[in-house]
Amino acid sequence: MGLLRGGINEVIATTSFNAAPVGIYYREKKYHAVLFLGSHTAENIARDGWMVANFIHDPVVYVKTAFEDLPKELFIEEPVNGKTMHRLAGADAWAAFTATVEHRTAESMTVALVPEKEIIEKVAVYPVNRGFNSLIDATVHATRYKVTRDAELKMHIDYHAGLVRKCGGKRELEALSMLEGYIG
């Protein structure tokens, strides 16, 4: 069995010296992602044909990679079936995929993913924390809100920010304050 679970897995996707949160769908034994055009992730995948899913539980990394680029020294090169792929240095585990663009619309492209290699680097246990989960949700809405300034999205962000304040640990609170800075 692979590391990804059924449904949508919110991972940090790395492509050539780039990282961003991305949802990987795993249904009926097949993997795919839907990427908005214009992102570095979409551009790199269309050019290079690979992507690595990083399993990481640091909320700050989710916020940072959603809004800006990471320095090159945070990436590690991994040889995978004759290609050099990049994964995050801090990942607990990673799964490398070859990626083929299957379908394009005006706004997005659907990418079929075929697993090539996966490694667990360190074993850690993460108790369920609503603050962490809400931080991820708030970040999803914030990436859209930054572009649209939609009032309904802001309401979702505020709701989840409340849960982060109530249930999160220090790292979630730090991530939330970064998030608030990005959406200003």
Ligand X SMILES: Cc1cc2nc3c(=O)[nH]c(=O)nc-3n(C[C@H](O)[C@H](O)[C@H](O)COP(=O)(O)O)c2cc1C
Residues near ligand X (CB under 6 A) are 10, 18, 20-23, 33-36, 39-41, 62, 66, 136, 139-140, 143
Nearer to ligand X, 34 or 76 (CB): 34
Work out how close the CB of 151 gets to ligand X at its nearest, in angstroms, rounded to a whole number. Answer: 20
Cβ distance to ligand X smaller for residue 81 or 152: 152
175-182 — which CB contacts under 8 Å span 24+ positions?
Answer: 175/59, 175/60, 175/62, 175/63, 175/135, 175/139, 176/63, 176/135, 176/138, 178/60, 178/63, 178/64, 179/63, 179/135, 179/138, 179/139, 179/142, 182/63, 182/66, 182/67, 182/142, 182/146
For the chain, the distance separating the N- and C-terminal CA atoms, rounded to the nearest angstrom, is: 42
Beta strands (DSSP E) in 106-181 are 108-120
Instruction: Pick between residue 96 and residue 136 the one whose CB is nearest to ligand X.
Output: 136
Minimum CB distance to ligand X, residue 121 (Å): 21
CB 138 within 8 A of CB 182: no
CB of 159 to ligand X, least distance (A): 16
Min. distance of Cβ 24 from ligand X in angstroms? Answer: 8
Nearer to ligand X, 25 or 78 (CB): 25
Q: Which is nearer to ligand X, 81 or 104 (CB)?
A: 104
The DSSP call for residue 142 is H
Q: How far is the CB of 120 from ligand X (least distance, A)?
A: 22
